[in-house]
A and B are shown apart, each in its own frame.
Chain A
Amino acid sequence: MTQSSHGNEQTGGSRRRARYEQWVRDHSGSLYRLAYRLCGDAGTAEELVQETYYHAWKDMPKLRAPKRARAWLLQILRHRYAHWVRDQRRAPAPTDRVDGVVSNSPGPARFAAERDALQTALDRLEERFKLPLLLVFLEGLTCRDVAERLDLPLGTVLSRLHRGRQHLREALRQSGGELHDTPEQETQQTQPRLRLGGDT
């Protein structure tokens, strides 16, 4: 290997590393939020994001348009999540049973109890409604973007969003929970309400 090509390789390696670090800084937070809202468990969400970045690092040379990194990362996360959902659905009967297990770790029931009402409602939502809803409300994608990425007609996306939101609203109503205002929102509400003309 010539000195020049070795140098180029090093430059390419450090460029790749720099790009990866940029992706971590720019997108890991929002990917984690999405993962958490999708699966409803902090540990699983963290692992889904780690898996996503692992695959992003490994397959980075295959990405032809680095400007579309965010969309690409979202796509990887969706695939990792789909694997997770598939495994959750596979429900063979327990093959064995161990009695007398003593563990100092908190059980799933406790974690479930700690979830907020919105997350519980999301967990009950069918996957086909959940993903478009989160892509719009959490990722800020337009409905047209969601339709394109999920390869669905816009009408289907709108219909699923509509039904997803209705399910969410109904579930929250039944559980006695409702969308709570964050401190930031409370501050905002001291300001004048939205005006129709300003909304457009």
Chain B
Amino acid sequence: MNKRIPEHLERAMEQAAMLSPQDPDRQAVVDRVKAAGPDAEAAWLELVEEDERLRLTLQDVRVPDDLQSTLLEIPTTHTSHGWAWMRWLSGAAAVVVAATMVTFGVWSWSADSTAGASADTARHVAMLTAEDLAAHAPLTIRSSNRAKVASVLQAASGMAVDMPNLGPEYALVGGRVCELNGKRVICTRWLHNGKMHSVYQLDRQAFGLPRALPAQRFKPTIGQTRYEAVVWSSQRCAYAMICDERGQPVTMRFAHPLVTADA
């Protein structure tokens, strides 16, 4: 700015430029600028124009074409009716699942001497999914239509898409095909309780995971973000469900899909 403009006026101008044109404080500064002469007037106009450019440049952001359609689907999957029931059922399901997991866990511990090795493999898978998630890769398809997402991902990957049944409170957002350790993997994205979850469907044998692996929870950390991941397998394939720890803990929310996926 011009050296001939008093510093106090310069500062007042900077602040006044951000007030609305109707603001009396701004009007008062404009009067002072007029009184200060042509240098101050030129500096004031430059300031106002610069602010206008800043405003327009900040607004120059491309909004995704499908943002509105994705948002409009939220009420379909999150109706208020039965929320209380849903919470009650989730609680009850969590208790049943916890009991089942304990029973199943004891059984599998005694029956399977390779449980430790499986846990290491599952931990490795959890870490791989966290690495992938941290890369913020864009989705190949954004849609809540399961059949459509499955069809696109199947065509892109050549793999049979077998989405776990996560329950009605999980809204499908879309999916993509990615590679973990050089192996092709299908990743679907879900919105649940305001948090984004990614579910990776892996070739169980290619990753060395046993059939019907009980759910195992891990907390991999990548850079500055800590994730929570659950790895399990069904008869056909293995899954890793992961989300970053934004908001409330997600521990029990993982319980529900584990039942239906393994059933």
Q: Chain A: residues with CB nearer than 8 A to chain B?
A: 13, 16-17, 20-21, 24-25, 28-29, 32-33, 36-37, 41-44, 46-47, 49-51, 53-55, 57-58, 61, 80, 83-84, 87-96, 98, 100-108, 111, 118, 134, 136-138, 142-144, 158-159, 161-162, 165, 168, 179-182, 184-185, 193-196, 199-200
* B27: A residues at CB distance < 8 A: 200
Contact partner of B136 among A41, A137, A138, A158, CB < 8 A?
A: A41
**Residues B24-40 near A (CB distance < 8 A):** 26-27, 30, 33-34
Q: Is the CB of B61 within 8 A of A87?
A: no
User: Given A58-B80, A105-B137, A88–B225 Cβ distance below 8 Å?
Assistant: yes
Minimum distance in angstroms from B173 CB to a CB of chain A: 7
* B136: A residues at CB distance < 8 A: 41, 43-44, 105, 108, 111
Q: Is the CB of A162 within 8 A of B55?
A: no
Q: Is the CB of B53 within 8 A of A181?
A: yes
29 contacts between A and B (CB under 8 A): A24-B68, A29-B67, A33-B58, A41-B136, A50-B196, A54-B74, A58-B80, A84-B246, A87-B246, A88-B224, A94-B221, A94-B223, A98-B124, A98-B128, A101-B180, A103-B135, A103-B179, A105-B137, A105-B176, A111-B136, A142-B23, A161-B15, A165-B18, A182-B57, A185-B56, A196-B41, A196-B45, A199-B45, A200-B27
Contact partner of B67 among A32, A142, A168, CB < 8 A?
A: A32
A94 to B246, CA, bound (A): 18
A138 to B57, CA, bound (A): 9
Q: Is the CB of B15 within 8 A of A102?
A: no
A57 to B68, CA, bound (A): 14
Contact partner of A43 among B54, B55, B138, B245, CB < 8 A?
A: B138
Answer yes or no: B222 CB below 8 A from chain A CBs. Answer: yes
Minimum distance in angstroms from A74 CB to a CB of chain B: 15
Minimum distance in angstroms from A136 CB to a CB of chain B: 6
User: Given A43-B138, A47-B196, A103-B179, A24–B71 Cβ distance below 8 Å?
Assistant: yes
* B23: A residues at CB distance < 8 A: 142-144
Minimum distance in angstroms from B230 CB to a CB of chain A: 16
* B221: A residues at CB distance < 8 A: 92-96
A137 to B56, CA, bound (A): 8
Q: Is the CB of B19 within 8 A of A118?
A: no
Q: Is the CB of A106 within 8 A of B135?
A: yes
* A143: B residues at CB distance < 8 A: 18-19, 23
Q: Is the CB of B245 within 8 A of A87?
A: yes
Answer yes or no: B110 CB below 8 A from chain A CBs. Answer: no
User: Given A96-B127, A102-B182, A137-B51, A199–B56 Cβ distance below 8 Å?
Assistant: no
Answer yes or no: B101 CB below 8 A from chain A CBs. Answer: no
A103 to B222, CA, bound (A): 15
* B232: A residues at CB distance < 8 A: none
* B194: A residues at CB distance < 8 A: 51, 54-55, 58, 80
